[in-house]
Structure 1
Amino acid sequence: MKIFDRVKKNYSKLERRDFLFAYLIVLFPVAQFLIFWFYVNASSIGLAFQDSMGNFTWANFKMVYNGFVDEDMLGINLGDSLLRSFILWIVGEGFIFPITLITTYVLTKKIVGHYVFRVIYYIPGLMGAIIWTLLIKEMVAYSGPITKTLLSLGVDLPLGARKNGLLRHEDTAFVTLLTVRSIMGIVGNNAVLTGAYTRVPDELFESAELDGAGFFTQMFKIAIPCIWATICTLLTFALCSIFTCDYNVWLFTDGTGRYGTSTIGFQLFNLTYRLSTGSGSTGYGYPAALGVVLTAITLPVVLVGKHLLEKMSENVEV
Structure 2
Amino acid sequence: MESRRRKPDWLKMRPPSGTRFTEIRSTLRDRNLNTVCEEANCPNLGECWSGRDGPGTATFMLMGDRCSRGCNFCDVETGGMEPLDPEEPENVADAVAEIGLEYVVLTSVDRDDLEDGGSAHFAETIRAINDRDPEILVEVLIPDFGGDPDAVDRIIDAEPDVIAHNVETVERLQWPVRDRRAGYDQSLRVLDRVNRTSDVHTKTSLMLGVGEYDHEVYRTLSDLREIDVDIVTFGQYLQPSRSHLDVFEYVHPDVFETWRRVAEEEFGFLYCASGPMVRSSYKAGELFVDALLREGDSVEHARRRARAAGEA
- Which structure's CA Rg is the greater one? 1
Q: Which has the higher strand share?
A: 2
TM-score, with length taken from structure 1: 0.24
Q: Which has the higher helix share?
A: 1
TM-score, with length taken from structure 2: 0.25
Higher relative CO (Cα under 8 Å, sequence separation at least 6) belongs to: 1
